Amino acid sequence: MQNLNAPDLADWLADTARAAPVLLDVREPWEIETAQIAGCVWIPMNEIPARSEELDDEAPIVCVCHHGRRSASVAMFLESRGFTKVFNLQGGIDAWSREVDPKVPTY
């Protein structure tokens, strides 16, 4: 698993020459209702073991949570399942809100 900071993720998403990553949001429903990055795939952390087959193990996946701890755990789990292009959004959606898109509410 590699860590990725919010500005680097924003650059990646803006780079049309590079394959866009799957943004995997692993937060709870109330958190998704509060704030989210557009285009995320939402699978709550506790559902990942049962639903990981829904994800393309060849695609780059950036795991997202509130501050980066849960997403780091999910990223490590996905790697243990054979996913090879897994990233953790360091600082989570909180860092995204503060460093990239202030329109995304903090909580």
Q: Tell me if 90 sits within 8 A of 20, measured CB to CB.
A: no
Beta bridge mates, 42: 25
CA distances from 9 to 21, 64, 82, 94 (A): 9, 11, 23, 13
- Which residue among 1, 55, 65, 93 is the active-site one? 65
* Residue 11 backbone phi and psi in degrees, to 5: -65, -45
- 63 is a catalytic site residue: no
Tokens 């600082």 sit on residue: 91
Tokens 């958190």 sit on residue: 31
Q: Which residues are catalytic?
A: 65
